[in-house]
Amino acid sequence: MTRASPPIGVITGTGVTEHFDLSRPKTVRTYYGQATVFTHQGGEYVVIPRHGAAHKSPPHGINYRANIAAFEQLGVREVIATSAVGSMNHGFKVGEIGLIEQFLDFTKRRQTTFFERKVVHTDMTYPYSRHVNLEVGVAAKKLGLDLHQHLVYVCAEGPRFETAAEIKMYKILGGDVVGMTGVPEVVLANEKKMDYASVVIATNWAAGMQAKVSHEEVLRVMRKSGREVKQLIEAAVGSLRGAKR
């Protein structure tokens, strides 16, 4: 009898969760708290809405450790996350989809590690899985999607949006996009030795590159792009499944 492959983990951000056809929610209790998990009807992947099922947890208040620990308990080894971001790169336009390769961390007050009482230094040279990124790229090509790759993600603390001066600094340091949820999520996944990838959607130009930034604009763009992102995720899951056979 062939043993079923472990599910692939999907973390959905703003404007993406509602596009997935999911089963009833399941509460997974971990040492770090509980996480709400949905299982795709085919069982090929499991979904955690990053902000909670009711989208009530702000970026700085998300229990990132519980989410990743829940995936570990479910046997997840590969994770594809989605995030709405502001673009600082004129080559990555509003409404377009990208893939992260590196990050710059400007968070301040988050629980960033599983190793609070043990000396463990996790290698973060390449925090985003080349293997999963490759399969996301394969999936995008099959769908005919223009996927911008090799992006550098700047994670700000939030929940406020950034100042124009901060964005100018982030651009000088090499940032392409800015968001509030990528860290410590990627760090925790690496600590658990998971292959983690981050698909981002440019929902606006960053502060100083347009007149103002609003959450309403983010939601408006995600309503247009969310279904396309869902198709990419499902195609990538299929590609990852095929790579295992």
Note if the pTM is more than 0.85.
yes
What CA–CA distance (Å, rounded) separates 195 from 72?
12
Read off the pLDDT of each residue in 168-176 and give the average, rounded to a whole number: 98
Half-sphere exposure of 117 (CA within 13 A, CB side): 0
Q: Is the pLDDT of residue 153 over 80?
A: yes
Tally of CB atoms within 10 A around 169: 14
> Model confidence over 218-240: pLDDT tens digits?
888 888 888 999 999 999 999 99
> Model confidence over 156-171: pLDDT tens digits?
999 999 999 999 999 9
What CA–CA distance (Å, rounded) separates 238 from 91?
29
pLDDT for res 160: 96
Alpha-helix residue ranges (DSSP H) falling in 51-158? 64-73, 130-143
| Residues 242, 128, 225: CA angle, nearest 5 degrees | 75
Q: Is the pLDDT of residue 61 over 90?
A: yes
Read off the pLDDT of each residue in 50-60 and give the average, rounded to a whole number: 88
pLDDT for res 244: 60
pLDDT for res 2: 42
Q: Is the pLDDT of residue 4 over 70?
A: no
pLDDT for res 73: 97
> Model confidence over 130-144: pLDDT tens digits?
999 999 999 999 999
> Model confidence over 70-116: pLDDT tens digits?
999 999 999 999 999 999 999 999 999 999 999 999 999 999 999 99
At 1, is the pLDDT very low, low, confident or very high (cuts 50, 70, 90)? very low
Half-sphere exposure of 32 (CA within 13 A, CB side): 20
Q: Does domain 8-244 have CATH number 3.40.50.1580?
A: yes
Mean model confidence pLDDT for the chain: 93
What CA–CA distance (Å, rounded) separates 69 from 106?
23
pLDDT for res 243: 65
Nearest-CA neighbor of 178 among 211, 200, 197, 146? Answer: 200
pLDDT for res 19: 85
